[in-house]
Structure formats: C-alpha cells, structure tokens
Structure 1
Amino acid sequence: MKIVSSHKPSFLLIKYSLLLLILCASIATKAQDPVFIQLSEKNKLPDNEFYNIHEDRKGFIWLCANKGLYRYDGKTFKNYSNPLQRGASVFNTQEDNLGRIWCNNISGQFFYIQNDKLHLFKDLSDYLNGELGDFVIRNDFLWVFTVKTIYKIDLKTKQIIQQHTTTKSFGTPFSFNNTIYSGAIDSIISINKDNRITSIIETKLPHIGKKGNAISLGKSIIFKTDSIYIYSQIRNKKNSFYKLNFPQKKLELVKGLEPLEKIKLYTIFEHNDETWIATNQGVWVFTFKNAAFQLKKRFLTDKHITKIIRDKDNNYWLTSLNNGVYIIPNIHIETCNIPLKEENIKTLDKINDSTLVMGSNRGNVIFYNINSHTSKTINLPVNEGKLSKLKYNPNQQKIYLSKGFRNYILDYRNLTLEKTRFFDAAKSFSFLAHNDLLYTNHNKVVLLKNANYHGKEKFISTNKRTYDSFYDKIKHQVYVSFVDELAVYDSLWNKQIIVNNKKPIYSKSITQTANGIVWVATFKNGLLGIKNGKVIRHYTTQNGLTSNIIEKIKADQNKLWIVGVNSIQKLDILTHKFKTLTKRDGIKSYNISGIEIIGNKIYFSSDKGLFSIDKNNAFKTLHPKVYFSAVEINEKDTLITSNYTLRYNQNAIRINFNVNGFLFNQKGTYKYRLKGYNDAWLTTAIGENSIKYNSLPAGEYTFQVHPFLNSTSTNYEIKELHFFIKKPFWKTLWFILLIVSLILGATILYFKQAMLKKEKERIAQLEKISLEKELIAINLTALRSQMNPHFIFNALNSIQDLVLQQDTDASYDYIVLFAKLIRSTLSYTNQDFIPIEKELEFLNVYLQLEKLRFGDDFTYTITYDAHEELEVPSLLIQPFIENALVHGLLHKEGEKKLDITFNLSENTLQCIITDNGIGRKKSKEINLRQGNRHESFALNSIKKRLEIFQKQYVTKIGFVIEDIYKNNNPNGTRVIVTMPFKYLF
C-alpha cells in the first residue's frame, strides 16, 4: 500500500508500508450482540444478587434476590416478607394454578403470596437439614426435590403424604405437559398427571475413573429443545449431554455442547428454535440442527447469569449473581462488532450488500462485513483530526475521504491511499448523471465532471455554508440545504428557492422516496415533503412525530426512517402511520451520523458504535392491559371495587392505574375521562398514572381509562369505576320539605311578631307624646324657677341705681340685656333643642346681668373648644349656674369665680360648672336658717327633665355634683352635666 499525491510532481511521493498504514483487526466470526439495558441498585433496583425471575399471568415480574422477594409492576419494586421468615434470601419463584406466587429459602420454609401478603405454607427444616430444595406446584400438591428424597405435600392439609427416596442424588425437576421429570444418577424418573412416580430410563452411563464412579457433585438438568429432551449430568468434573430416547429407554450422547463441559450451568431457556443457557460465563445461544447443537452467539461472557425469561411484551430478562438484572428490550436491535476505540463513528456509506465503510472520530476508516460480523480498520496518518465525511464511488471503486484540510482517496481494490486537494471539510457528497460528483462544505458547492479530481472543478456556489445535498434522479435536479435557505438546481444549474408558507426552509438532511417526493428534515419545523418545487406534506408532533427537531432521514422505498432527538421512527408515507423506537426499546443513541439499508436490516452509525434494526420485526405490537392499583377517598386508601357509594363530603378521589411491563410506562400514556363530570377524553403525560378529583359535586360518575401508545392505537380494553356521591342532607327531599315548613312557620311567626311590634310602637308613640307633654310642663316649671323674683327684683334695682346715678349709657345697656334675656327665655322655652351658640349666648347675657349684682369681685368664663356644630337641650344649664351663684358664691367674701366648660368626646357632651364658693355643706346650713328651698325645687325639675331625655335617647344622661376641697377645707363645688345633643349638618 502507498500514499500518492494528486498535486503536481513537485510534491514528494509519500510511501508507507502496509503494516504502518493498515491495521486489520479481524474479529472472530460471531453474531451481533443484542442491546442490553442494565438495572442495578443505581437505578432503584433493590439488590444486585438475583437467583430467579418469573412473570405471572397478570404481567408482574417477580424476583428472588439475596435481600428478599420483590414484585415489579413496570414502575416500582415492592418487597414481600413474613415475620416468621428466617433469612431474607428466597429462591425458585413459580406460580400455581390459582395465581399464587411461591418461593422457598435455604432454611426449609415454603411461602406463597395471597391477598398481596407473603404467607408461610410449611416449614420443612427438620426434613431438609439446610439443603435448598427444588420444588414444583402442580394441581393440589407441592412436590419438593432434595438430593435423596422427593416429598409430596397436600396443599389443603399441608401434610406430607408421600416420600420417594434414592441412594443416588435427584436432579433439578423439569415440568412439561403435566409430567415432571427428574434425573437421578442411576435413572430418569417421571411423575405423571396421576401423581405416580415411575422410573422411565435407567441411565447406565459408562463409569469413568479409577474407582469406576466419577460422578461429580452438582444436580443433573433436563431440558427440551424442539421435540428433543436433553439430559445433562456432571461426570468426571465435566458436563455431559445426552438425548433421552424414551421408546428405547436409553441415553444417546449429543454433540455440539462441548464448549460447556467446564462451565457451571444454572438454567435453560427455550424459545422458538433457540436454546439459551445461563452459565457462570454469560449466555450461550445454540440452535439444534442435524442432531447436533450449533453455537449461534454468546454475550455477557464475564457475568454469572442465573435465569432467563421472555415476558409478554417480548422483552428478555436475565438475572445475575453480582450485576443486577439485564433486559434485552428488542432482540431485533443488535450491536455490531466495532473496535471500542473506533466506536465514535462520524460518517457511513455502503460498499456493497455485504460491506459497510465508516469513518471514525479518531480519523480512521473501518470496513464491516455484515455476514461474518468482522471489522477491519485502516489507520490513516495520525494527528489529522476526525474523518468527517466519506463517499464510495462504485464506478471507480474508490472512497473519497474528507479530514478537514487533509483529504484522501482510498482505492478499495488494492487499498492504496492517494492525497487530494479536493473534498476539504466536506459536508456532503452526491453522484449526479454521467458520474459527475457534487460535494459541499462550509463555504462552497463544487462540481467535478466525471468525478475527475485531477481536473478543473466548477463552483456552483461560494461563501455560503451548507449542510447536505441530494440528487433527484427522476427530475435530474440537485437539492442543496444552505444555512439560510433550501435551493434546487436544474440540469443547467438554474437556481430556485423552495419556501414553506412564504418562509425559508432550514434543513439538514434530504432524501427521496420511491413515489418521487423529496423529503427534507428541518432544524425545528418537522418533516417536509416536496414535489414540483412545492411543499405538499408536513409532519410535526401534531400528526405523528415525537419531535419537530429532525437530525437525519433515509428513504426505504415508500417508507422513511426518521432520526429525531428522542426517537427513531419509521413512517409509511402511503398510510401516514408512524412506528417508534426509543432507548427504552434498545436504541443505543440518537446521535446518528449515517443510515444505510442492506436487505431487511437498517444500519445506524452513531457516537456509540454501529447498530442494526430488523426493519420487519423490530417494532413490537404491545397489548397493554390497564388495571386499577389504588383508590383513595379523602386521601385514605380504600379497597378496590367496581362501585362506590359515598357521602357528600367523601368527594376527594384519587385513582391510580397501571400497565405491567417494562416498556409501557416509559413510552405509553393513558386516556381517561369521568363521565358525568366531563365526557371528553383526556391524555396523561408519559409516566403519569394517577388522577385526582379534589371536590366532586353530588351525582353519579363513571371513571374510564385505557392505555394509549400513539394515534394508531385502537381497541384497547377500557376499565371502569362507578361512583355515587350522595347529596348533602340539605339537598334531600325530606330536608327541603322540612325547610319549607320551617319557612312557612317562620313567616307566620314573623307577621305575628310584626303586628306585636307595631302595637308596641303605637304604645311607645303614645308614651312619647305623654312624655313630651310632661316635658313641656316641666320646662314651664323650670322657667318659673329660673327667673325667680329675687333675680328679677335685683336686676331691676341695679338698673334703677344706674338711672339715679344718671349713668344713661350703662342703664340703657343693661335694660337691653335684661330684655334680651327675657325674650330668649320665652323663645327657647318652646324648643327642645337649640344651637349651642345660642345657648352660650344666653348664658353669657344671664351672667352679665348677675355681675351687676355681684360687682367686680365676680368673674366668669364660658369655654367650648370643639368645632362641631351641635344642638343642645334649651335652657338646661342656666339652673345649675343660678344654683352656683345663689348657694355657692353669694355668701362668699372676696374673689368669686365661675368656670363653665363644654367638652365633646367619644359622642358624649358634658358641661362642667365649677365655682369657688362656700360649698354645699355651709350653703345648706344658711338655707336652713333662712328657709330657702329654691335649690331643691330647681334641681328636681332638671333631674326630671334629664330622666325624660334618657328614656328618649336610651343613653347615659344626668348630672353629678362634687365638692371641692383645699387643705381639707371646702373650696367650691363642681357640677358635671351629661346631656344629649344632635349634630347639625
């Protein structure tokens, strides 16, 4: 092999030896490995050490583990234990005809699950003596197999009703078609449907070894493949395999299983024409042809695999001793054998129907043979970066390689490598008519006539980044996806811009289906179908896509393979139906760099290697069945039943539902509705499997739910729950009648009370009239008391003195004041309330006249600081002032003071009258000597008047008289009058 330059002869010819340039990493012929999903403690698997696994008739997965028995419902692992259980580890899970799950432990205890609890069936520790017995549940009996004894136990009475012993050890039982088989060293026994134990074949195997008996430790195993029963026994420390010849009652040596001679066998799994054997060196898969076993494939070779099952959704479950549980979600998705260091693949192309060529991130070329499953690596010169794009030219049998600015042409016939100045940083290659080659890169589109990379190139476009190109062989048009538009060129290189709803199309991958439609994957606008320069189809998440961001597409006749950011989908463009695969189905990566189709397989190159999908069988048809897992009423668990009758306040309902299995809850949703509340079907989010109604009104409801995978999902079974929420007692008929009766009675009572109230109001009105009359009379009496003859006489004498003194002006002023006082008294007597300004004016006139009598020794103040405009009872305060003058100040010598203050606070009006007179005690003594009872008469009239006001206004009204002392000697009197008032607005 050599590298030559396509430059002018001035460039040196570079030669490399074959050993330097080519590393042929040939891998031994073997099948491709399935794709695994490993469950471990890191992703909530409760243990890493598992001994057995079983799927029951309801789809629950049961796991026997070192830490106990677990049930998996597709979302969570539930642990089961019994208080009498000795040790956590359990083994040998199986199901009886009643649907109960059985297991046992090394302590000789046998358990079963019933009503979601683990029950102890029987303790055989005294019989098994620490031996872990195998067992089979059939009809009404439990058959327990130990090394030396078989026990038959009645399931109803729990009594041992039969024992069968041997001096040679029994092997692991195998049950098929109502018959149980077990191999002892000296014979093969069977237990038929009538529960009779019969020796059907005497082994009579040749003895090996010096002592004539080289049987090794370990239980014999019987399994079935096709119609052949195989018997395995350890002899001379090797696994030996024999065919059971029932007609001739003999064993016949079987060939093909020799690789298992030194390996520990755990269990055998049969499916279709394959025999899967779980061993301490992984899984061995054989086929049985021409009376011999043939090894088909091996995987998980460094793991202890203990049990293999295939569930109802065609997932393969493999339990291991130290590495948790492995799941093969899709046996039709396989990993190709690419060297680990080259698994980050950047570009992919097809050489022929048996060979693929790839370019890796390390910059090398890898050939992969799909028949022998071998790969060969061509190491290109180092330190030149990744191999970003390659293209095979079948006419010249050459491969164009782009490594940034270091580009090569590899001759597939002799593996010579030639440098070239073309193809730098290529984004795409397209072969046109006449073997013309179009390639695009980050800033140009270039045409090479007849793929002649030694000739002159033609520049179709420059200074614009590209992503992909495609040649339409039907219309001889070239599609180029630029950074800002999608362009199509005709054979004369005339350019047309394709738009979608008058907007540019930003695309990254282009292909064409057999019906002539060109399909474009967009950055965020889904998938577009183009014909005659117009968009005629548009797929988004609204009509089937799982994402509007499409990474890569590839046509397969009239089907499209679509790589999105969260799935790989297949679209039938004639029926418009989608099928979807995700990582949960076994897809290794969504970072896909290339797609190629060979036969019935689709090959995808990715950052995690090369994997294939069987396009006919990879898409599973799931038949999910939903069930109700819990019902909560007012946040309390309740028994699950089909009908519920609830009180009106039991209206907070939570319903949990589920589909058992590994895949559904990771990719499926549920449709539900509550008939009677909202008849429209609603859809849950992926992984959501409960619905809560917080406050349902009274009524009848039917909750319905069914699984939902995609828009084509139909005919799934609908599950129902019925709820009847009673009306509250106040909405029942009897309560309504009671309320009507009470309202009628209350109405009658109301009118009676209203009539009584009116009668009371009439009587109160009469009383009010009577009080008003009485008040008028008292006012008149008060008037007479206020203007007593002494006051009038003294006032007139004072005026007479002024006249005699010929003080005409002063005489005139006092006559005017006296007249004003008499006029106000007569005017206000007929009014219950007068403005407080008039009351203050009246008191001021009265005190001015009194000052004539008392002389200059007498001073007074009248104070009202509030700003509110009020009305007060007329002439109410004057008798108190007169009383202070006559009884307090008249007999006092020296300075005489009188203070009158009105205070308004908190809807209370008080008048405080303070004098510095002789006090009440001394005044009383003087009055008794003089026989003066004026005070008593005046105050009694005022008191009566205030009592009437209190009845009218129902508030605290009255007066209080307090004595004032100074140094324990009388120093005056204070009267506090609390009076009614009205606001003036």
Structure 2
Amino acid sequence: MRIISLLIFLLLSNFGWCQNPYYQAIDKTSGLPSNSVYDIFQDSKGFMWFATNKGICRYDGTVFKTFASEKQTSKSGSCIAEDGFGRIWYANFDGYLYYVEKGGLKALNQPTSLGYFKFGILKNELFLIQPNAVLVYDMKTLKVKSKYQIPGTIIKSCYSSGENFYVLGDFLYVFSNSKNHKKYALPSAFSDEMTAPILNHWNQKLIVNSKSSSTFYVFENGIFTKKDINTPLKFLQNTAVNDDFLWICTPNGVLKNDLKSKASTTYFSNQNISSVFKDRQNHYWISTLNKGVLFIENFDNNYIDLWPRPVSMSLGKDEIFIGTEKDLIYKLNCNNLKTNKIFETENNHSINQILADTVSKQLFFTSFKFNILNKNNQLESDYSIAVKDVKKVDEKYFSFSASSVSGIFFVDKNLKSSWDFIFEKNKDNVFSGFNQVSLLKNSNGKSTEYNASNNMIYYATNNGLFAVTNDGASTEIKHKNETLYLARIQKYNDQIIGLSTAEKLYSINSKNQISIFELPNSIKNEKFQRFFIRSHFGYFFATNGVYEYDFVSKKTQKVMSLSNDIEATDVILKDNKLFFATSKGVVIKNRKEIGNYPTPKLVINEIQVNGKRREVNEISELNPNENDVSINFSTLSFIPNESYSVCYKINDANWKTLDNTTKNLKLSALSSGDYCIEFALHHNNKKIGFQQIKFEIKKPFWLSPLFLLILSLLVLFLFYAFYKYQIRKIEKQNKIILEKNELEKNLNLSALKAIKSQMNPHFFYNALNTIQSYILANDKKQAVNYLSKFSSLTRSILEMTEKEFVTIAEEISTMTFYLDIEKARFDEDFEYTIAIEDDADIEQLKIPSMLLQPYIENAVKHGLLHKSGLKKLDITFSKIEYVIKIEIDDNGIGRQKSAELNAIKNKKHQSFATEAMQNRIDLLNKNKANKITINFIDKQNQSLQSLGTTVVIEIPINFQV
C-alpha cells in the first residue's frame, strides 16, 4: 500500500513540475549586472537588492545601481541585511563584510575571515564568526564591543532570525544579544544526518536542513524534532520560509513544501534556483544561478509555455483556439488547461486572424491563405485571399474584411437570412469560391463588425469607415465631415467602438453618429495599439500594460504589466479568467484576484551640492557659492519595468514634468534666497507621493544688512560729494559765463572805442574840411572821389562792428579807404604800401576785426604828420607756420619824439586808440592758450636818431577757435 501511495505521489509530483506560474525574467538584458544571483532582499524604503556575481546592486523596478569598492577581495556574495541606520550589508564568499552607506560601498574593519558564514544583525549589534569566537560589533560605532569564545568547535553554519543569532557547531549556540546566549546539545545522529546544514526559521522555530538529505530538524524550546520531506532530494542549495511554506532551492527547480500539510509542488524544474524571496507587496522573487531573477506577481497566475508564440485567439464553447506565428493552431481546454495541436503546416506565416463558430463548429483563420477547418479539425478548404477580420452576422452569414475587397459569406446555404437578397444580387461577383460576395471593392479592408440594433455591417478600410445595409446600400460614416481611418472596430451593445490609426478611440451609435470615446482619467492619456471587447469589458493594450474597462461600472484596472521582453497581442475572457496571448506563451489570470497594482513610490536617494554628496538635513543652509544643486531620485514601481514620470516645481512656479528615464534634477547657478522644491509621481493621471526639499542659499556678505547699511552711507556720502562737486562745477561754469559775458562786454566796449577812435569829431572835421576845400576849389571830381571813399570807409567800419573776426582782405579794404582819406590831408609827400607774401591766403585767413587801424592811425598822426620830407608807411602780411605776422612800418619821427610833442601840447595826453586796443588785446588773449603778441621796434641810426617805428603783430591762425 505504501508503494502505491508513493507512486501516486510521484505521479502527482511529476505533474506539478509542469505547473509553472507566469513570471517576468529580469536578467542582463534588463540591466541586471550578472545572471548569477545568490540572494534577494527588500529594504525599508522598498528597493530590491540582489547579491550577484558582479557584486551587490539595487533595483527600483526599472533601474539597477551596482555598488563596488576597490577594497573588495571578491564581489560574489550573499546574506543581504539592513541595520537600524539604513545601511545595507552583505558578505562576500571570502567571508568579508561590506555595507552601503551614503551612496558608496565600504568594508567592515574585521581582523580575519573564517570563510563565508552568514552574519547576524540584532537591533544595534552585529554578530560575526571568527576562528573559535563570535565578535559583537556596536552598530553605531562599528567597533568590537565584546567577544564570545567557542573553544574547539568547528563552525558548520550560522543564521540570524532577527531576534536570535544561531551558531551551529558541536553545539547549537543561541545569542539574543551580546550578553545573553545559550548552548544546546545536538541529537546523537544529528552530525551524520545534517552534513552541510542550512538554517532557517518558521514561527519562532529553527529549521535545519541538509544539503544532501530530505530529512530536516525543527528546533523549538530547546528540543530538536526530526522530520522528513516526502519528495526525494539529491542536492539542496538553499532554503527560504514564507508564510507556512518551506521553499527548497535546488539545481533542478524549487520545491514548495507545506510545513503543515507536508504537500509539495515543484516549480521551474529547468532552472538552477538559489533563493526565494517574498516582498511586502506579496510578490515573489526567485533568483537563479544562470538566468537572473524570476519575478512572480501571483502564483495563481498560470502560464502555458507555447512554441511557436501565440498571436491570435478565439473562444469556442469550452476551448480556446490559438493561432501562432508559424502557421500552427493549438486548442486549449479551458477546464484542465491542456493543449494539443489541431493544425500545422511547414509555412512560417503568422495566423493573425482566427474565428471559431460555435454553431457550425468550423474554424476560420488566415495565414498566407484564408482557411476553413471543419468540426473534425480537418482542412475543408483554403482560398488565396488575405482576410484580415471575420465577424458573425447571423446564423447563416459572416462578414469579412480583406485586402482589396470586403463582403459576406455563408456556411450553410439551406439557412434563411435577411441578407439573402444582397447576396443573390451580388453573387456574380464571387471570386474565390468560399460562398462569398463582395460588398465593397477597391478598398483594403482592415476590420469588420455587425450591429444588430440597426442591422448594418461596418467595414473599416483604407478609404474610410463604411456601413452597408441588407438592401445593398453603402454609406461612408464621417466624423465632423472628415473621413475616419480606423484600424480595428468592435461591438458593445448598440455601439461600434473603433481605434483609429492615430490611436484614438471613437464611438458610433446605431444612428451612425460619431463621438470621441471617453475613457477614465487614469488611462485617457495612454496610447493604445489594439483593443478587444469581451462581454461587457474592454481590454486596451498600451505599451506598458493591458487595461480593463468595465462598460457598466465605468471603472478601470490594470490587468497585466508589459515590458520590453513581453508583448501581448490578444485576450479571451472565460469564466472570469483572462487568457492572454503573449510572446512568452499563454498567461492565465483570475480577474477577481487581480486587484489593484501596488502604488508606486517616490524616493529621494541623494543630494549633491557643487558635485559633493550631502544629506538632506545638511542642506538647510548653503553658502552663496554653493548654488549648484543636483537631486537624484528613484521611482519604486514594485512591478518590474513599470515606469512613471516625475514632476516638480520650485517655490510657487508651475509644475514641470521630467522624462520617464530622467532620475536626476540639476539646478545650476541658483541665486540666493529660500527654495522649496516639490516632487510628485504621475500615477493614474494624478500626482502622488509628494516629496519636499527645503533649503536656503545665504546672501553674499555684500548683501548683508550691515554691508548694505555701510554701502548706503557710502552712496549717500558719494551722492553728497557729487552734489557738492556739481554745485562747484555749476558755480565755476556760472563764473566762466559771467567772465565771458564781461569779456564780451569789454570787447564790445573796446570795439566801440576803436570805432570812436576812427570816427571821432576831429577825424570827421578834417575829412569834411578836405571835401569842402575840393568843392570850393570847384574840383568836383576829387570831391566826389573823396566823398565816395569816406562813405565806403564809414560803411565798412559799421559792418565790422557786427563781426568778431574778418578776413585779411576785408581788413586791407578798410585800411585802404582810411589811408586814401588821410593821404588827402598831406601834400604829395605821403606814400603807403600794403604787401602780401605768397603764403598768406588773405581770403581765408581771419583776424579780429578793427585790430590794425589804431596802430596805422598812430603811425600817420603821431609818426608821419610831424615829419618833414617824404613820409612812408609800409604794411606787410605774411604767414609763418601757424602764425599770421603783420608788420606796420613808418619812417616818422619815432615814439619818443612824438611823446615829447604831445606832452608840450597836453601834459595829460595819452593816445586814446592805443589804450583802447591794448585793453582789447588783453581781453582777446584771456583764457587763450595761443595769444596775440604786439612788439614795438624803435628804429635808430648810429647817431641814435629816430628812423621811425615798426609794429609787429603776431596772431595765431587758430586763435578764433
């Protein structure tokens, strides 16, 4: 009887080997540093940690980060744990401990290594095996606080339950802390049976397994109890306890053993399993030594590994027909989940369209031809037409969409239908012989659907959406008067739901009115590649998952997660079970047990200021030059390959969204001030998981209140000094203006005096007497000539009063008039000459007006008038470099003799014109860099007798500037 029971158990066990749950593979293609994984752990934040052949790494669901150190003796290791300070620990297989702290991997200072043994962390103490001893470290200081000797003992295994640290040697040592430990004797046959023991715990009990035996011991309250695993085991690599199950990891899969009922099931018999871990979200992670990590969302989700890969599915009565990518069809029994092949060819064409008719029990499918299988799964006929979609119209007819043509066909000509009329009307258009007629031509059909509420067949084509009635009339259905291009259409009640080539959803009611199909906010922004309607549920296939929408309750949920290594192409709903055609096989999920996916989490990993890592509590105040801030974060998805975007805002600014792949926010050259940076996750069209970082960048010293006060006072002082400077400047300018006005006044007076000197009554009296003498002498010609010169001189003098400077030519003209008038007073013994040297441009060169006349008058009146004999006056103009040189030379009695004569006449006499001109010269030279100079040369012979006077006047050319 025992033999029969064992045989039955072995048969059941063998059957269990095939019952693998659906899993996602996480390996090097996903970013895992190595496919050899030895241990798995989930930290308090939610990160997953893997001990791999390339070291320890952290995983947030999408991104891996490996931690390494130059001080590592080797990278491979196991026994991952977390201490109370948030540090992650692991031991490499050389027996050395390392921990991750502040973004780096550090080594524990330990004296030596006994080889790989598990360490233990109990509250704030770390227990480490050493030769014949157990070292206890203080977790805060990481220094040895005590040492417990284990003399003469060969350590076989160690284990930490979180409450106790177990050391198995010749005895079992149990440490609850550094001060409390107990020692227990082992059963007599223990050492022989438990070669290479592996320790674990379950419900305050210690479980001891052997690597080469199905026997194990349970230690509780100081007593060892021997137990057996019903399944024979050749080699055991590791164990794990989750809930009431002992998971035994072997090179040929993992055995799930119920510690209460002793029932066992084996999974993944073709995998070399190293560990099993159940996270806080009740998901399972199974590590392998050559295939990475297997993520199992739920062990109740069955998985049928099919090859070739499934592409399309159709539901019969109690079976699902599965079309694959290599012209092969499986039939899956929905009750026992067994599959068998019903059709296969050597062609490599995918079966993208398949439909099972539950009435005729025929199967319609398309690979490189359109095929029909009868109820005995025999190929009844095939036709060279590329049918894309087939839908049932009534008991007799089916609609179909195909390349270049769309129409209807029947399976039983003896049946009656309202569509017989249109079929008979178009039966001459039969083209391939499977009892079909064409209703639309010259259009590539993509999808078809029948709406019983208005008795119309709809065809989605490359030329738009068309509705055909049973009288043969076809109408294009447009949206806002524009052609609608739909890739797939499905029916729900009296609506046709269509997915456009632009990945938008539309609804067409029974009156052929089109509207945008509104999905819930949680998925309305998703882009869908395909969709299916099953019962009152819609299944929408997006890039990262499949979403279920309940048309009745309007609720939605994610029913399957997709990633780069898995693609879903079809879904069938049967008895509240979902069957997905995926690139890995058929995945079966129970709708009622799907529930909501775990809410993702946003975690701030580290902050860098000017490229240096800083803790969050260390950045509350930053110096003015610490203004480059980088914030690194992770989005914990808890489901592999689920990606979420992160949004942020600074102070009261608007929210900004980062790219899904961006895990770092860099803020450069921040100005001083207070900053509040908020982060949030985008999940189901909402912001969740808010995180906030606050810090202040101090103002530079030049913006401090004291500095600003000093600066303000300095500015006020400078402003006051500038004000005083401007006042002095204005006063100086006013003084200059006054002086200028005074100068101009004096110049004007000087000019008037010069005019007066020329137009004094004596001069006029003499001139008029001369004219009178000419008239009395009846010399009219001379009188007119003299009067003309007199008037010209008068006019010229008056014109000069309006000018400050005149040309030499104008001055010569005036002098000529004056000398000609004066010459008339003398006898024929007076001569004058005016000479101009070649380089003197008299038409361009200018001199102050009425400057020369007084000196000429003095020469005539005081020098020549009292001279006897020939009287000569020579005036010469020349240009020497940048100076106009004027020489007035006479051969008169000289200045000294003239002064003596004037003194006799009038002791107080002083030349009026000379004094006026000197004053004028002084006024003209005022504030001038280049001045007018006047030199008097008294000419004498050897006997010191006067030969006359020469006046030399030098005027700078740019004097008027």
TM exceeding 0.5? yes
- How far is the alpha carbon of 1:324 from its aligned partner? 5.8
| Residue 363 (1) aligns with residue 348 (2) | no
| Residue 252 (1) aligns with residue 227 (2) | yes
What aligned pairs does 1:776-815 form with structure 2 within 5 A after superposition? 776-779=748-751
| Residue 353 (1) aligns with residue 318 (2) | yes
What aligned pairs does 1:765-784 form with structure 2 within 5 A after superposition? 767-768=739-740, 770-779=742-751
- Please tell me whether the aligned partners of residues 633 and 653 of structure 1 are also in contact (alpha carbons under 8 angstroms): yes
Task: Please point out which of 342, 355, 361 is paired with 1:397.
Answer: 361
- Structure 2 distance, partners of 1:240, 1:659, is 43
1:59-116 CA deviation, whole Å, 9 max, x = no partner?
A: 2444445555555566766666678765566543212345443334456544545566
Aligned to 1:144: 128
- Structure 1 distance, partners of 2:69, 2:239, is 30
- Please tell me whether the aligned partners of residues 47 and 636 of structure 2 are also in contact (alpha carbons under 8 angstroms): yes
Aligned to 1:431: 392
- Residues 1:393 and 1:79: Cα distance change in structure 2 (over 3 Å): closer
- Please tell me whether the aligned partners of residues 626 and 719 of structure 1 are also in contact (alpha carbons under 8 angstroms): no
- Residues 1:819 and 1:401: Cα distance change in structure 2 (over 3 Å): same
| Residue 564 (1) aligns with residue 542 (2) | yes
CA RMSD of aligned residues (A): 5.9
- How far is the alpha carbon of 1:433 from its aligned partner? 1.8
- Residues 1:60 and 1:848: Cα distance change in structure 2 (over 3 Å): farther
Aligned to 2:683: 709
- How far is the alpha carbon of 1:640 from its aligned partner? 1.8
2:616 aligns to what SS in structure 1? coil
- Structure 1 distance, partners of 2:928, 2:209, is 113
- Residues 1:70 and 1:448: Cα distance change in structure 2 (over 3 Å): closer
| Residue type of the alignment partner of 2:150 | H
Aligned to 2:197: 220
- Structure 1 distance, partners of 2:858, 2:62, is 100
- How far is the alpha carbon of 1:561 from its aligned partner? 0.6
- How far is the alpha carbon of 1:495 from its aligned partner? 4.5
- Please tell me whether the aligned partners of residues 159 and 165 of structure 2 are also in contact (alpha carbons under 8 angstroms): yes
Aligned to 2:119: 135
Task: Please point out which of 784, 800, 808 is paired with 1:828.
Answer: 800
1:293-349 CA deviation, whole Å, 9 max, x = no partner?
A: 533420662x5x54443444556545555666665577777753122xx22x55332
What aligned pairs does 1:428-827 form with structure 2 within 5 A after superposition? 428-451=389-412, 456-472=435-451, 476-489=455-468, 495=474, 497-513=476-492, 516-524=494-502, 526-533=504-511, 538-539=516-517, 543-545=521-523, 549-565=527-543, 567-580=545-558, 585-586=562-563, 588-590=565-567, 592-605=568-581, 610-618=586-594, 620-630=596-606, 639-641=615-617, 644=620, 657-660=633-636, 667-674=643-650, 677-678=652-653, 683-688=657-662, 702-711=676-685, 716=689, 719=692, 721=694, 767-768=739-740, 770-779=742-751, 816=788, 819-827=791-799
Task: Please point out which of 184, 200, 215 is paired with 1:199.
Answer: 184
2:795 aligns to what SS in structure 1? helix
- How far is the alpha carbon of 1:563 from its aligned partner? 1.6
- Please tell me whether the aligned partners of residues 672 and 696 of structure 2 are also in contact (alpha carbons under 8 angstroms): no
Task: Give the TM-score, by structure 2 length.
Answer: 0.72
Q: Percent identity?
A: 19
2:119 aligns to what SS in structure 1? strand
1:338 aligns to what SS in structure 2? coil
Aligned to 2:150: 164
1:433 aligns to what SS in structure 2? coil
- Residues 1:373 and 1:939: Cα distance change in structure 2 (over 3 Å): farther
- Structure 2 distance, partners of 1:536, 1:471, is 16
| Residue type of the alignment partner of 2:119 | F
- How far is the alpha carbon of 1:486 from its aligned partner? 2.7
| Residue 958 (1) aligns with residue 921 (2) | no
1:3-23 CA deviation, whole Å, 9 max, x = no partner?
A: xxxxxxxxxxxxxxxxxxxxx
2:46 aligns to what SS in structure 1? coil
- Structure 1 distance, partners of 2:63, 2:893, is 107
1:820 aligns to what SS in structure 2? helix
- Structure 1 distance, partners of 2:291, 2:858, is 113
- Structure 2 distance, partners of 1:881, 1:307, is 130
- Residues 1:560 and 1:47: Cα distance change in structure 2 (over 3 Å): same
- Structure 1 distance, partners of 2:366, 2:883, is 113
- Please tell me whether the aligned partners of residues 200 and 249 of structure 1 are also in contact (alpha carbons under 8 angstroms): no
- Please tell me whether the aligned partners of residues 172 and 184 of structure 2 are also in contact (alpha carbons under 8 angstroms): yes
Aligned to 1:30: 18
- How far is the alpha carbon of 1:629 from its aligned partner? 4.0
Aligned to 1:969: none
- Residues 1:960 and 1:510: Cα distance change in structure 2 (over 3 Å): farther
- Structure 2 distance, partners of 1:394, 1:578, is 30
- Residues 1:397 and 1:198: Cα distance change in structure 2 (over 3 Å): farther
1:978 aligns to what SS in structure 2? helix
- How far is the alpha carbon of 1:359 from its aligned partner? 3.9
Gaps of 5+ in 2: 1-14, 414-431, 824-830, 861-871, 900-910, 936-951
- How far is the alpha carbon of 1:929 from its aligned partner? 12
- Structure 1 distance, partners of 2:819, 2:295, is 119
Gaps of 5+ in 1: 1-26, 208-213, 886-892, 902-909, 963-971
2:746 aligns to what SS in structure 1? helix
Task: Please point out which of 150, 159, 162 is paired with 1:173.
Answer: 159
Task: Give the TM-score, by structure 1 length.
Answer: 0.71
- Structure 2 distance, partners of 1:616, 1:843, is 126
- Structure 2 distance, partners of 1:815, 1:808, is 10
1:17-51 CA deviation, whole Å, 9 max, x = no partner?
A: xxxxxxxxxx99713463434343x7665566654
2:597 aligns to what SS in structure 1? coil
- Please tell me whether the aligned partners of residues 140 and 154 of structure 1 are also in contact (alpha carbons under 8 angstroms): yes
- How far is the alpha carbon of 1:507 from its aligned partner? 1.7
- Residues 1:455 and 1:299: Cα distance change in structure 2 (over 3 Å): closer
- Between 1 and 2, higher relative CO (CA 8 Å, sep ≥ 6) is seen in 1
- How far is the alpha carbon of 1:499 from its aligned partner? 3.9
- Please tell me whether the aligned partners of residues 30 and 373 of structure 1 are also in contact (alpha carbons under 8 angstroms): no
- How far is the alpha carbon of 1:425 from its aligned partner? 0.7
Which has the higher mean CA deviation after the structures are superposed, 395-404 or 241-250?
A: 241-250
- Please tell me whether the aligned partners of residues 175 and 181 of structure 2 are also in contact (alpha carbons under 8 angstroms): yes
- Please tell me whether the aligned partners of residues 701 and 707 of structure 2 are also in contact (alpha carbons under 8 angstroms): no
| Residue type of the alignment partner of 1:336 | I
| Residue 980 (1) aligns with residue 960 (2) | yes
- Structure 2 distance, partners of 1:76, 1:364, is 38
- How far is the alpha carbon of 1:357 from its aligned partner? 2.2
Aligned to 1:233: 210
- How far is the alpha carbon of 1:980 from its aligned partner? 3.1
Task: Please point out which of 221, 240, 265 is paired with 1:269.
Answer: 240
1:823 aligns to what SS in structure 2? helix
1:155-177 CA deviation, whole Å, 9 max, x = no partner?
A: 6761443233565652242527x
2:256 aligns to what SS in structure 1? strand
| Residue type of the alignment partner of 1:390 | I
- How far is the alpha carbon of 1:501 from its aligned partner? 3.8
- How far is the alpha carbon of 1:385 from its aligned partner? 4.7
Aligned to 2:46: 59
